[in-house]
Protein backbone atom coordinates (compact mmCIF):
# COMPACT_ATOMS: atom_id res chain seq x y z
CA UNK A 1 0.00 0.00 0.00
CA UNK A 2 1.15 3.47 -0.72
CA UNK A 3 1.55 6.27 1.79
CA UNK A 4 -1.67 7.86 0.64
CA UNK A 5 -3.75 4.77 1.35
CA UNK A 6 -2.08 4.16 4.70
CA UNK A 7 -2.99 7.71 5.69
CA UNK A 8 -6.60 7.14 4.60
CA UNK A 9 -6.76 3.94 6.67
CA UNK A 10 -5.28 5.68 9.73
CA UNK A 11 -7.76 8.56 9.40
CA UNK A 12 -10.70 6.17 9.01
CA UNK A 13 -9.70 4.00 11.96
CA UNK A 14 -9.02 7.04 14.13
CA UNK A 15 -12.39 8.65 13.39
CA UNK A 16 -14.19 5.32 13.87
CA UNK A 17 -12.54 4.76 17.24
CA UNK A 18 -13.29 8.35 18.28
CA UNK A 19 -16.97 8.07 17.35
CA UNK A 20 -17.37 4.59 18.84
CA UNK A 21 -15.64 5.58 22.08
CA UNK A 22 -17.80 8.65 22.50
CA UNK A 23 -21.02 6.77 21.73
CA UNK A 24 -20.18 3.95 24.14
CA UNK A 25 -19.12 6.39 26.88
CA UNK A 26 -22.29 8.41 26.35
CA UNK A 27 -24.45 5.29 26.54
CA UNK A 28 -22.75 3.90 29.64
CA UNK A 29 -21.87 6.98 31.69
CA UNK A 30 -23.85 9.71 30.03
CA UNK A 31 -20.65 11.67 29.35
CA UNK A 32 -17.83 11.72 26.86
CA UNK A 33 -14.26 10.51 26.59
CA UNK A 34 -11.56 12.58 28.28
CA UNK A 35 -10.46 15.65 26.37
CA UNK A 36 -6.95 14.28 25.83
CA UNK A 37 -8.29 11.13 24.12
CA UNK A 38 -10.62 13.17 21.91
CA UNK A 39 -7.83 15.57 20.92
CA UNK A 40 -5.43 12.71 20.21
CA UNK A 41 -7.96 10.96 17.96
CA UNK A 42 -8.92 14.13 16.09
CA UNK A 43 -5.30 15.26 15.70
CA UNK A 44 -4.19 11.92 14.30
CA UNK A 45 -7.15 11.87 11.89
CA UNK A 46 -6.47 15.43 10.74
CA UNK A 47 -2.77 14.76 10.27
CA UNK A 48 -3.53 11.61 8.29
CA UNK A 49 -5.96 13.48 6.02
CA UNK A 50 -3.39 16.21 5.35
CA UNK A 51 -0.75 13.56 4.64
CA UNK A 52 -3.09 11.77 2.23
CA UNK A 53 -3.82 15.01 0.34
CA UNK A 54 -0.11 15.88 0.09
CA UNK A 55 0.69 12.35 -1.11
CA UNK A 56 -2.02 12.59 -3.79
CA UNK A 57 -0.72 15.98 -4.96
CA UNK A 58 2.81 14.61 -5.08
CA UNK A 59 1.65 11.64 -7.15
CA UNK A 60 -0.19 13.92 -9.61
CA UNK A 61 2.82 16.23 -9.91
CA UNK A 62 5.08 13.26 -10.53
CA UNK A 63 2.74 11.99 -13.28
CA UNK A 64 2.69 15.41 -14.95
CA UNK A 65 6.46 15.70 -14.86
CA UNK A 66 6.78 12.19 -16.33
CA UNK A 67 4.35 13.05 -19.13
CA UNK A 68 6.17 16.32 -19.83
CA UNK A 69 9.51 14.50 -19.90
CA UNK A 70 8.18 11.90 -22.34
CA UNK A 71 6.78 14.66 -24.56
CA UNK A 72 10.07 16.57 -24.55
CA UNK A 73 12.08 13.44 -25.34
CA UNK A 74 9.77 12.60 -28.25
CA UNK A 75 9.92 16.19 -29.55
CA UNK A 76 13.71 16.37 -29.25
CA UNK A 77 14.05 13.03 -31.06
CA UNK A 78 11.82 14.36 -33.82
CA UNK A 79 13.87 17.56 -34.09
CA UNK A 80 17.10 15.56 -34.11
CA UNK A 81 15.80 13.32 -36.88
CA UNK A 82 14.91 16.26 -39.12
CA UNK A 83 17.94 18.38 -38.25
CA UNK A 84 20.35 15.48 -38.65
CA UNK A 85 19.21 14.94 -42.26
CA UNK A 86 19.62 18.61 -43.15
CA UNK A 87 23.01 18.94 -41.51
CA UNK A 88 24.28 15.78 -43.15
CA UNK A 89 23.45 17.13 -46.59
CA UNK A 90 25.00 20.49 -45.78
CA UNK A 91 28.26 18.98 -44.55
CA UNK A 92 28.52 16.60 -47.49
CA UNK A 93 27.90 19.43 -49.95
CA UNK A 94 30.45 21.65 -48.25
CA UNK A 95 33.07 18.92 -48.33
CA UNK A 96 32.40 18.19 -52.00
CA UNK A 97 32.72 21.87 -52.96
CA UNK A 98 35.81 22.67 -50.92
CA UNK A 99 37.57 19.35 -50.78
CA UNK A 100 38.74 17.74 -47.59
CA UNK A 101 42.25 19.13 -47.98
CA UNK A 102 41.13 22.70 -47.46
CA UNK A 103 43.80 24.81 -45.84
CA UNK A 104 43.17 26.33 -42.49
CA UNK A 105 43.93 30.03 -42.56
CA UNK A 106 44.54 31.54 -39.12
CA UNK A 107 43.36 35.01 -38.29
CA UNK A 108 46.07 37.65 -38.35
CA UNK A 109 47.17 39.42 -35.20
CA UNK A 110 44.81 42.09 -34.14
CA UNK A 111 46.35 45.48 -33.72
CA UNK A 112 45.18 48.29 -31.53
CA UNK A 113 44.59 50.69 -34.34
CA UNK A 114 46.05 52.19 -37.48
CA UNK A 115 49.18 53.44 -35.69
CA UNK A 116 50.65 49.91 -35.47
CA UNK A 117 50.40 49.21 -39.19
pLDDT of residue 8: 94
Q: For residue range 9-67, list pLDDT tens digits in order.
A: 999 999 999 999 999 999 998 888 899 999 999 999 999 999 999 999 999 999 999 99
Q: What is the CA radius of gyration of the chain?
A: 36
For the cut 60, the answer to whether the pLDDT of residue 112 exceeds it is: yes
Which of 53-62, 69-78, 84-93 has the weakest average pLDDT?
A: 84-93
In total, the chain counts a number of residues equal to: 117
pLDDT at 79: 84
- Report the predicted TM-score, pTM, of the whole model to 2 decimal places: 0.61
Give yes or no for a contact between 22 and 33, defined as CB atoms under 8 angstroms apart.
yes
Amino acid sequence: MTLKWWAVVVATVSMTLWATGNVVTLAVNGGQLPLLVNLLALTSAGTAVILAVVAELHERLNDRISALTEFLVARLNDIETHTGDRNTGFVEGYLLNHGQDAAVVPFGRRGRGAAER
